[in-house]
Amino acid sequence: MSNDQNAETSTAGAYITSGQEFTRDTNYITTRITRDGADGYPVEAGRYRLVAARACPWANRTIIVRRLLGLEDAISMGITGPTHDRRSWTFDLDPGGVDPVLGIERIQDAYFARFPDYPRGITVPAVVDVPTGQVVTNDYAQITLDFSTEWAQYHREGAPQLYPEPLRDEIDTVARRVFTEVNNGVYRCGFAGSQEAYEKAYDRLFTAMDWLEERLTGQRFLVGDTITEADVRLFTTLVRWDPVYHGHFKTNRQKLIEFPALWGYARDLFQTPGFGDTVDFDHIKRHYYVVHEDINPTQIVPAGPNLDNWLTPHHREQLGGRPFGDGTPPGPVREGERVDPAHTPLR
């Protein structure tokens, strides 16, 4: 994918500017971890730590891909709390509020270890070089692609092909529209600084949602007959739609449950190992409703919606397709990486 396709950031960089359209900060640390180590960081099992937040849709993608591919033994993972201040995400879920591997309280410490005067937003996901404690990259769109390609020697047996070469052009094309119009489109609505900007963003978003609804009416997955990178990228927005975006971001023409194909598709993925078992609805709601004080100054977190409907039959298997192709589903979630059972209908 080209650099403009990777133009994504975490929720930490989102604020309302009065009278203006929301514009996402698109500058990332583009250092890559590759087999040849061209950027100074070779693929090496046990050397790197993925720092992610279950609350963040962009970080959620990396958690899903790491699990689908079985990279748990090769790349360790640290999970931040669901909220943050303007400085950084913190490790408040860990004993003493310190990441047990990196020994830091805030992910900003890894950024400053490499760039003492780092001027941009401190975002997740980020991959950190454990020996030096320095951030390597926060360019998470590239992170997941590299998990699929550069880290192939460490994939589990039966790992799916999330970025198969014959479909890459189509995956890139679909993913580009999903990002610009949907992944970022909900933010364009939520952080619009004027009525005009909001209505323009709203129309763009639902034009794309209608396109996706039509596309997924006749096919089980976005590209081809298996799960690909494109599905991962769409899923993390859809799973946040009714709990957060519909109300908080005013994307309220329809709830997700009112899109027959998209709702079935989202449930199909949610009930697939590697997707729903990475989703923490409590973290999602607390993050958006507490952190975005300019949108929700009371910081009251809604009690709903009911989540049991995520486990209802979807019947998408009638469209054919094989979620993992010639591969197999991942095994049980690793001890220490499970979502709190109180935060998910997958108990």
- Residues tagged active-site: 56, 187
Specify whether the CB–CB gap between 242 and 219 falls below 8 A: no
CA-angle at 211, arms to 226 and 275, nearest 5°: 40
Euclidean distance between CA atoms 126 and 278, whole angstroms? 17
Euclidean distance between CA atoms 199 and 100, whole angstroms? 46
- In what side-by-side order are the strands of the sheet with 134-137? 76-79, 48-52, 126-129, 134-137
| Angle between helices 140-149 and 57-69 in degrees, nearest 10 | 10
Euclidean distance between CA atoms 180 and 5, whole angstroms? 9
Instruction: Please tell me whether residue 276 adopts helix, strand or coil conformation.
Output: helix
Specify whether the CB–CB gap between 12 and 23 falls below 8 A: no
Specify whether the CB–CB gap between 291 and 84 falls below 8 A: yes
